[in-house]
Amino acid sequence: MHAHTSSDVLVVGGGIIGLVTAWRSAQRGLRTAVADPEPGGGAAQVAAGMLAAVTELHHGEQLLLGLNLESARRYPAFAAELTEASGQDIGYRACGTLAVALDADDRAQLRDLHALQLRSGLDSAWLTGRECRRLEPMLAPGVRGGLRVDGDHQVDPRRLAKALVTACERAGVVFHRGWAERLTVLRDRATGAVLADGTALTAGQVVLAAGSLSGRLAGVPAEVLPPVRPVKGQVLRLTVPPGYAPFLSRTVRAVVRGSHLYLVPRENGELVVGATSEELGWDTTVTAGGVYELLRDAHELVPGVTELRFTETCAGLRPTSPDNAPLLGPTALPGLHLATGHFRNGVLLTPVTGDAMADLLADGALPPEARPFTPRRFPPVRHPPVRQEQSA
């Protein structure tokens, strides 16, 4: 067998979670390979990049909150290290977030979120509508109140993915540009994977980090298949023309008649508007209805958006677990680990996931903060057959 088809660690999936795992693994001295036809692709190409541990808090997700906050805390050092390792800026911006409400029901929902944030010991300040507009003058006069959260920042996921590919290459990670079609199992142990072109890759440890597709790898015994399903998100990209007055100075989120909306302004003028949340299986169609609803709500929130250049629409799939938290760590099959199911928080959880998986791969154990997210917390599931391939 050719030497480069064998490694200590094989990561199946080269999205941001697979890449950070590979980068950290290589840094720990492990010979590491990644199998993916297009490393750096996947959901990060669609994601807005909010690091929204506080403003995206939901009831019942207190345990996940701890992991989210830990990863947010690591972001400044992670961004600096990755920038140094790749020679690329990843667009980390400590700009804070303003979450606003437009009508009485939206305000009630935001008040409920504020109460949950305060009970959870988080920093979040209630502002009147006028105070919100003082911070962000482009907001509609109808804004009724909001939450100022100075600790929720942003990063550019496309730059993050590109920088991780470069950092991996520089750390000696080997890329196999093909689909992993089948896990190989020998004497009740995962030993590698076979690519679509028949190339057999062997490894001491395999990490399944294939996002929404993680539950679809042939050869994985049914009892350890991750219970991950896709949740579709449609996103728009607009551009603030050069020379235009500052449009938004921070991430703005809103509940608009019950629909969640966010506007994420980048320093280069890009404004990301998201996102739908649709349980439609593997469908990644951008629909007229999805675009209409995002633009309608964005216009109601910030009427000036209609002046901006319309740049792009896209749709991606959030890899979602039954409790919305990731699956991190060993499975019941020796040699097979999971790093998937990050749902709405993949970009945020990138630093802590990389660190945790590297500890597991190099030292044999997850650090304490990652242990509650063991894949073994779920009973085995059966997946229905795939109807359509993921295209984004």
Q: Residues interacting with ligand GLY, by CB under 6 A?
A: 50, 56, 233, 274-275, 318, 344
Check if the beta carbon of residue 274 is closer than 8 Å to that of residue 236.
yes
Name the minimum Å distance from CB 234 to ligand GLY.
10
Q: Which is nearer to ligand GLY, 47 or 327 (CB)?
A: 47
- Nearer to ligand GLY by Cβ, of 56 and 61: the residue is 56
Contacts of 125 (CB under 8 A, 6+ apart): 147, 148, 149
Amino acid identity of 56?
Answer: E
> How many Å apart are CA 136 and CA 97, to the nearest integer?
11
Spatial contact of 387 and 284, defined as CB atoms under 8 Å apart: no
Q: Tokens at residue 285, please?
A: 């169609």
Rounded (10°) angle between helices 16-27 and 350-363: 40
| 192/341 with CB nearer ligand GLY | 341
**Minimum gap (Å) between residue 138 Cβ and ligand GLY:** 21
Across-strand partners of 255?
101, 260
Instruction: Report the nearest approach of ligand GLY to the CB of residue 47 (Å).
Output: 7
User: Which is closer to ligand GLY, CB of 93 or CB of 318?
Assistant: 318
CB of 274 to ligand GLY, least distance (A): 5
Residue placing its CB nearer to ligand GLY in the complex, 314 or 333: 314
Q: Which is nearer to ligand GLY, 264 or 366 (CB)?
A: 264
Q: Of 124, 143, 142, whose CA–CA distance to 132 is shortest?
A: 143
Using alpha carbons, select from 73, 141, 63, 149 the residue that is nearest to residue 113. 149
CB of 85 to ligand GLY, least distance (A): 25
In whole angstroms, the minimum distance from the beta carbon of 341 to ligand GLY comes to 13
Q: Are 378 and 340 in contact (CB under 8 A)?
A: no
**In the bound complex, which residue of the shown chain has the CB atom lying closest to ligand GLY?**
344
